[in-house]
Structure 1
Amino acid sequence: MNTIFATRAVGLSELKANPATVLQSAETEPIVVLNRNKPTGYVVGAQLWESIMEQLENLELAQIAAARLNDGKASVPVTLDDL
């Protein structure tokens, strides 16, 4: 059984028939595309995709910062004026 990460689903034929409508609906939440009742893909709008990418970038930066804090090197004090 496949886990579906969306609250709305459309069939492949509906996506082919009305792609603009499906894309418009996908601006705020993902839509799963089903083919024979199995998920084959997701449609997300541009705004949602940009938000997802920003969150992933923030997560990556947080991991880099945590690694640098735990690298065993002494920290260097810096003031905002120094920057």
Structure 2
Amino acid sequence: MVEPLLAGASISISDFKKNPSAAIAAADGFPVAILNHNKPSAYLVPAAAWAEMVERLEDADLAALVRARADEVPVPVRLDDL
């Protein structure tokens, strides 16, 4: 069975274990697929890319919340009442 490779680069788990820092540096900020018997077993995602993905997911959650609340009737509030 063919499995999709969801990264632009890959490395065998044996080579990765020999020098993880080199794999991270060679990735140049992009994810790397870690292969075990030529099948992806994990993905190495650099910290900056991970932070960007988490931020985008949070933005998507907030956008969904805004859309869900868009039809709600606003409640008038005065700052002095708070």
**TM-score, normalized by the shorter chain, greater than 0.5:** yes
RMSD, matched Cα: 1.6
TM-score, structure 1 length as denominator? 0.80
Which residue identity lines up with residue 54 of structure 1 in the other structure? E
% identity of equivalent residues: 33
Instruction: Report the Cα distance in structure 1 between the residues aligned to 2:56 and 2:70, rounded to whole angstroms.
Output: 21
Match of 1:40 in 2: 41
Quote how far apart the aligned CAs of 1:27 are: 4.9
Unpaired runs of 5+ residues, structure 1, are 78-83
Counterpart secondary structure, 1:5: coil
Quote how far apart the aligned CAs of 1:58 are: 0.5
Q: Please show how residues 2-81 of structure 1 align to structure 2 within 5 Å.
A: 2-70=3-71, 73-75=72-74
TM-score, structure 2 length as denominator? 0.81
Quote how far apart the aligned CAs of 1:76 are: 5.7
CA contact (8 A) 1:5 1:32 kept: yes
Match of 2:79 in 1: none
Counterpart secondary structure, 2:4: coil
CA contact (8 A) 2:9 2:27 kept: no
CA contact (8 A) 1:4 1:32 kept: yes
Unpaired runs of 5+ residues, structure 2, are 77-82
Aligned length: 75
